[in-house]
């Protein structure tokens, strides 16, 4: 039960922060959801750091990892929103924006995880 509560709390905090960032940054570009993009990339970086530290040694307990990676990052990142926004761009006929947003999210997300793992090795 304690672990479920940790995931619940982390998820709530992550979702709330995602809401604030998306609400703040999404209005800046008509066909590129900057807030969602930032959240997904930052979430990839954070989970890369967390998982890097957890494999490095006993830096994080199992409960801390549940709170931060499963809970916070799970609530913070927005793959379902990401997919819905892709669908919206396709329905609007915005093939260039769809392609740019999809490819850049995936490529930069993978790079952010790599950077997060690298950062965890350096610290």
**Does 29 map to a domain?**
no
**Does 82 map to a domain?**
yes
Phi, psi (degrees; rounded to nearest 5) at 60? -125, 135
pLDDT at 108: 97
**Does 85 map to a domain?**
yes
**Does 96 map to a domain?**
yes
pLDDT at 30: 84
User: Nearest to residue 30, comparing CAs of 83, 94, 90, 74?
Assistant: 94
pLDDT at 38: 95
**Does 104 map to a domain?**
yes
Which tokens go with 95?
A: 């093939």
Q: Is 55 annotated as a binding residue?
A: no
pLDDT at 55: 83
pTM: 0.82
**Does 7 map to a domain?**
yes
Number of domains in the chain: 1
pLDDT below 70 — which residues of the chain? none
Distance CA 36, CA 44 (A): 12
Range of the domain at 76: 2-23+34-122
Q: Is 77 annotated as a binding residue?
A: yes
**Does 28 map to a domain?**
no
């Amino acid at each position: 039960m304690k672990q479920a509560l940790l995931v619940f709390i982390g998820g709530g905090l992550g979702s709330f922060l995602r809401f604030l960032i998306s609400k703040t940054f999404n209005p800046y570009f008509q066909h590129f959801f900057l807030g969602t993009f930032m959240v997904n990339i930052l979430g990839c970086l954070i989970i890369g750091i967390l998982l890097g530290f957890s494999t490095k040694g006993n830096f994080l307990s199992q409960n801390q990892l549940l709170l931060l990676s499963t809970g916070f990052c799970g609530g913070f990142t927005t793959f379902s929103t990401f997919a819905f926004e892709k669908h919206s761009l396709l329905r609007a006929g915005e093939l260039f924006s769809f392609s740019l947003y999809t490819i850049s999210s995936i490529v930069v997300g993978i790079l952010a995880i790599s950077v997060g793992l690298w950062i965890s090795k350096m610290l």
